[in-house]
Amino acid sequence: MSNKEYIQIQNINKIFGPNPESVLDLVADGIGKSELQSKHNHVLALQDINIGIKKNKIQVFMGLSGSGKSTLIRHLNQLIHPTSGNVIIDGEDITSMSDKEITNFRRNKIAMGFQKFALLPHRTVLSNTYFGLEIRGVEKKEREKEALKWIDRVGLNGFENYYPNQLSGGMQQRVGLARALTNDAPILLMDEPFSALDPLIRMDMQDMLVQLEKELNKTIIFITHDLDEALRLGDNIAILRDGKIIQEGDGQEIVLNPENSYISKFVSEVNRGRVIQCKTIMKKEINQELTNEAIVSPDMTIEEAAKIITESGLDIGSVLNNKGKLVGTISVQDIVASIVTPIKYKND
């Protein structure tokens, strides 16, 4: 693994049960999840997880319930300790830290948002938001100032003195987000933070998160069961099934080359126009006059490109890179074809 990887998850196995170590060898020999459960009374939650996460990117773990994604994210702040394997963050092995060290690490390096918000019901929005700073022992004036800044940033101005029960779900999750951001930790863990929200508010929150990530340079680990959400947010996506990573890559890779039928079933529901970028399907041979009216960029999604090309009344758009050089052409026909192309997958 390269040094650039800020967080390294190495050979993580997690087994729940009366004596997890005793069955570790069986797992290494490849015993199945159901056999382990029925014959040995242990639950295999995670199996040989290896992944590197780059700094200041959004890493998404996607999977259905029972896939082990929530268990995995809790390894990153040691709310759950692995049965075997290591988690190395910024050069430090957090799995071998003492209780005191891990408490310190949680206070300063990592913040977390929760699916069910997990706000303190007896505290106001303001004092919920500065909870992390209070734990750290920051002075009251200082932490209130910092908290107010983030309450404002997530759009909850004027709600400082409300109690969580008096707010809607979307607003409560904004408080959760403000609490996580107020800690000013370089790593943000988000455990299905938006799945309890209705679709429109969820989109708002997703946009806000992407915006914040660009502004603040944070490494965000995001858990979701929704592939659309994964594609919208993730710089890199890992798909989990039965405690194993079955595919990892950026959104386009997963949509264009699903590893197996399980993933392709998910992918078939996705709006491919919003995922595939012009550079992926453009024709590189340039045999055409430059048409100034329909100019698209290589990183643009083909949905956006289609809009620009059709609005200009043409059939073909020119793909210009950020230096203004013509690098390819793209036709509306190509775009339509790639949106409806039946999905092929590599294995099975």
| List of residues contacting other proteins (CB under 8 A) | 77, 79, 103-108, 110-112, 114, 116-123, 131-132, 134-136, 162-163, 165-166, 183, 189
Nearest distance from C-beta of residue 73 to other proteins, angstroms: 10
CA proximity to 173, closest of 204, 213, 214: 204
Chain centroid, CA 272 distance in Å: 19
The encoded tokens of residue 249 equal: 């890559």
CB atoms within 10 A of CB 307: 14
Q: How far is the CB of 287 from other proteins (least distance, A)?
A: 58
State in angstroms the smallest separation of the CB of 43 from other proteins: 19
Q: Centre a 10 Å sphere on the Cβ of residue 164 and count the other Cβ atoms it contains.
A: 19
Residue type at position 22 = S
Residue with tokens 């400082």: 160
Of 59 and 183, CB closest to other proteins: 183
DSSP label of 20:
G
Rounded to a whole number of angstroms, the minimum distance from the CB of residue 316 to other proteins is 52
Question: What residues contact residue 147 under an 8 Å CB cut-off, 6+ apart?
Answer: 126, 129, 130, 133, 178, 182
Would you say 166 or 341 has its CB closer to other proteins?
166
Identity of the residue, 117 or 222, whose beta carbon is nearer to other proteins in the bound complex? 117
Residue 105: which of 123, 126, 91, 84 has the closest Cα? 91
Shortest gap between Cβ of 268 and other proteins (angstroms)? 34
Instruction: Please say which residue, 58 or 111, places its beta carbon nearer to other proteins.
Output: 111
| Alpha-carbon torsion (101, 103, 107, 109), positive or negative | positive
The nearer residue to other proteins, 61 or 105, going by C-beta atoms, is 105
| Cβ nearer to other proteins, comparing 103 with 211 | 103
Q: Are strands 58-62 and 244-249 parallel, antiparallel or unpaired?
A: unpaired
- Could you tell me the smallest distance in angstroms from the CB atom of residue 175 to other proteins? 12
